[in-house]
C-alpha cells in the first residue's frame, strides 16, 4: 500500500461540486492499494500514519502525532500512486490492486484510522474528485508498505 501524507491546516474533497469530506488541522492521506495488499497491510499503514510525529510541539519541533494534536484525517483514493514510469512517457498502473480489492482496502484503511480514534472524512472511490488543501509547512511524507 502506498500513502502520500500531507500535513494540512484544512482540506476538502468534492465530486461534481458537492463537498464529500472536509477537515481542519490534520492530514490528507492519498491512498493506493497495491496488488498483494491485505486488510492487515491497511491496518499496519493506518497505525503507522496515526503515530508519525509530523506535527509541531511547543518548541516548533516535529514531535507530535495526529492523535497527540487531536487532528483529523481526510482519506482520498488515488490509484495513480502506483504509476510505473520506468519505460516510455506514459505511466503504467498495473501494480495497483484490482478496483474491487482496491476499494475494500481503501475503506479498510479509513476504518482503521477511525478505530484508532481519528475523525475521518473520505472521498468517493473511483470518482473524478477535486481535492483542495492548505499544506502546512509544507510537510509531505511518502509511505510504502514494501519499504
Neighbours of 37 (CB within 10 A): 23
Any catalytic annotation for residue 125?
no
Residue 6 known to be catalytic: no
* 27, 41, 55, 79: the active-site residue: 79
Q: Is the peptide bond before 73 cis (omega within 30 degrees of 0)?
A: no
Active-site entry in 6, 27, 55, 78: 78
86 φ/ψ angles, rounded to the nearest 5 degrees: -70, -25
The rounded distance, in Å, linking the Cα atoms of 33 and 134 is: 25
Q: 51-70: b or e for each residue (b if 16 or more CB lie within 10 Å)?
A: ebebbbeeeeeeebebeeee
Q: 80 catalytic, yes or no? A: yes
Q: List, by residue number, the catalytic residues.
A: 78-80
Amino acid at each position: 500500500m502506498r500513502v502520500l501524507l500531507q500535513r494540512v491546516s484544512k482540506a476538502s474533497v468534492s465530486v461534481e461540486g458537492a463537498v464529500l469530506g472536509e477537515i481542519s488541522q490534520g492530514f490528507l492521506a492519498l491512498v493506493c492499494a497495491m496488488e498483494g495488499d491485505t486488510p492487515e497491510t491497511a491496518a499496519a499503514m493506518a497505525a503507522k500514519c496515526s503515530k508519525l510525529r509530523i506535527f509541531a510541539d511547543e518548541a516548533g519541533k516535529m514531535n507530535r502525532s495526529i492523535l497527540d494534536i487531536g487532528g483529523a484525517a481526510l482519506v482520498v483514493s488515488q490509484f495513480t500512486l502506483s504509476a510505473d514510469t520506468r519505460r516510455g512517457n506514459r505511466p503504467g498502473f498495473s501494480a495497483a490492486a484490482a478496483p474491487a480489492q482496491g476499494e475494500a482496502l481503501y475503506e479498510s484503511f479509513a476504518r482503521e484510522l477511525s478505530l484508532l480514534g481519528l475523525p475521518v472524512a473520505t472521498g468517493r472511490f473511483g470518482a473524478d474528485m477535486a481535492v483542495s488543501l492548505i499544506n502546512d509547512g509544507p510537510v509531505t511524507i511518502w509511505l510504502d508498505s514494501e519499504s
